[in-house]
Amino acid sequence: MATELTERLTALGRAHDLVRPLPGGQGDAALMGDLLTVLLAPYDDLGAFKGRLRVAVERMGVGQSSATAVALVIHELATNSMKYGALSMASGTLDISSDADGDDVVLRWVERGGPKVDAPNGLGGFGSKLLQRSVTSQLGGRIDYEWSEGGLIVTLRMLRARLAL
């Protein structure tokens, strides 16, 4: 447990390093793919995404202000997947992809091969509420969940302009 927590905190620190401003004001944004790779590294037991995790996103920048919100969303989704979803099973997989849709960036989180998932009863817990608020207020978007027999699909819609901040 301590090792897992240390790995996750280290990944979060590396994610912030990716967006830390460089001297002279150059390079204060990270690429989404790099950010996701760093954030998901503690969850990938085979390393370098050659195993159960696959990331295929468009080349887009994530600014320093948005990186924290993105990191929070990814860590919450990954933690829930490890506990209840596809990553809780040896055969489970996670695919993350993105598309541009006008002024929005649409990120899709698709879990397959895990246990049957059901929509939560009620309004959701603290993590769900925190995700919703982070996505709407910090990223100018919304988060939608599709609970299917095949696995969970999360669609994260963010304003491209906000993502770059």
DSSP labels for 59-108?
--EEEHHHHHHHHHHHHHHHHHHHHHSGGGSTT-EEEEEEEEETTEEEEE
List pLDDT tens digits, range 82-128.
Answer: 889 998 888 899 999 999 999 999 999 999 999 988 888 766 788 88
Q: Domain of 113: which CATH number?
A: 3.30.565.10
Eight-state DSSP code of residue 42: G
pTM: 0.81
pLDDT at 22 over 50: no
- In which domain, by residue range, is 96 found? 2-163
The reported pLDDT for the residue numbered 137 is 94
Q: Comparing C-alpha atoms, which of 117, 114, 165 is closest to residue 145?
A: 117
What is the number of structural domains in the chain? 1
pLDDT at 44 over 80: no
Cβ neighbours, 10 Å, residue 60: 19
